């Protein structure tokens, strides 16, 4: 017979909490004490992505605030909470780093996000410029059971429709060498690897010109003085991008 307290522990949680408790990527030992909310998940995801792009593996408080559209003050108080829960390391006036537990939780959220986006685009044929918003909502609600079924159904995709790497069930990411279009030089031939997904207008423009992940692109000119990058995909019209936009499109060699 089960100990009598066990069903009570399960019943006091809401449904998302009991699902969280079953997530395979989550550290199991301290799981009852730590149950992530949507907000915590969004913070961990933002810090994870910012830290990945940083050479010291840190995220600046101001950048976290900008990404999440909140004030630096509210970021500070949340970071203290994440620090107490051993999800992040945060020193006042310093940057923030995720602990192994924080990284694991963030990777689980990114995995749900990427698999959901892939499903929405590939199966439901929803516009790739619109699925990011939808996935932001669904990523907090989907159960592990449905997620793993979806992953198998889609053939275990390693990248989402925008070229973002999807962590595997162990939280590992497939990495690639890539650089923004803005850093390329005229005459180079590259393959589009990833585009900045929250910019829906940019995604629509890129699609019209064939600049989607996997497409071979020629860099026609890069003019630092005028801030204009001209690129082209064979069979499509040339596209002029500002340096700001060209920093949001990533390419790989070959």
CB of 100 to Zn ion, least distance (A): 24
* Window contacting Zn ion (CB under 5 A); options: 28-36, 45-53, 126-134, 185-193: 126-134
Nearer to Zn ion, 64 or 110 (CB): 110
Size of the site for Zn ion (CB under 5 A): 2
CB of 113 to Zn ion, least distance (A): 5
CB of 114 to Zn ion, least distance (A): 7
Residues 44-103 that bind Zn ion (CB under 5 A): none
CB of 56 to Zn ion, least distance (A): 25
CB of 95 to Zn ion, least distance (A): 24
Residues 12-41 that bind Zn ion (CB under 5 A): none
Residue corresponding to tokens 């909502």? 137
Write a three-state SS string for the chain. CCCCHHHHHHHHCCHHHHHHHHCCCCCCCCCCCCCCCHHHHHHHHHHHHHHHCCCCCCECHHHHHHHHCCCHHHHHHHHHHHHHCCCEEECCCCCEEECHHHHHHHHHHHHHHHHHHHHHHHCCCCCCCCHHHHHHHHCCCCCHHHHHHHHHHCCCCCECCCCCECCCCCCCCCCCCCEEHHHCCCCCEEEEEEECCCCHHHHHHHHHCCCCCCCEEEEEEEECCCCEEEEEECCCCCEEEEHHHHCCEEEEEC
CB of 48 to Zn ion, least distance (A): 14
Nearer to Zn ion, 147 or 219 (CB): 147
- Of positions 23, 111, 112, 132, contacts Zn ion by CB under 5 A: 132
Nearer to Zn ion, 111 or 132 (CB): 132
Nearer to Zn ion, 166 or 251 (CB): 166
Residues 140-199 that bind Zn ion (CB under 5 A): 197
For residues 99 and 89, what is the distance between their CA atoms, to the nearest angstrom? 7
Nearer to Zn ion, 108 or 229 (CB): 108
Q: What is the binding site for Zn ion (CB under 5 A)?
A: 132, 197
């Amino acid at each position: 017979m089960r100990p009598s307290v066990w069903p009570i522990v399960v019943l006091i949680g809401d449904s998302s909490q009991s699902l969280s408790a079953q997530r395979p990527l989550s550290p199991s030992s301290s799981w009852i004490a730590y149950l992530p909310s949507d907000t915590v998940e969004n913070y961990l995801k933002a810090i994870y992505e910012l830290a990945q792009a940083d050479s010291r593996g840190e995220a600046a408080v101001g950048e976290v605030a900008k990404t999440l559209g909140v004030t630096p003050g509210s970021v500070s108080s949340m970071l203290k909470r994440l620090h107490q829960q051993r999800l992040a390391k945060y020193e006042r006036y310093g940057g923030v780093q995720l602990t192994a537990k924080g990284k694991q939780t963030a990777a689980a959220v990114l995995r749900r996000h990427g698999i959901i986006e892939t499903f929405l685009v590939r199966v439901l044929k929803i516009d790739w410029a619109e699925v990011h918003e939808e996935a932001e909502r669904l990523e907090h609600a989907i159960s592990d059971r449905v997620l793993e079924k979806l992953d198998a159904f889609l053939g275990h995709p390693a990248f989402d429709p925008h070229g973002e790497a999807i962590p595997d069930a162990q939280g590992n990411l497939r990495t690639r060498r890539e650089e923004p279009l803005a850093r390329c030089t005229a005459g180079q031939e590259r393959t589009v690897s990833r585009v900045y997904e929250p910019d829906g207008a940019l995604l629509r423009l890129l699609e019209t010109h064939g600049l989607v992940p996997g497409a071979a692109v020629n860099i026609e000119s890069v003019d630092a003085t005028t801030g204009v990058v001209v690129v082209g995909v064979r069979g499509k019209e040339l596209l002029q991008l500002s340096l700001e936009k060209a920093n949001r499109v990533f390419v790989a060699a070959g």
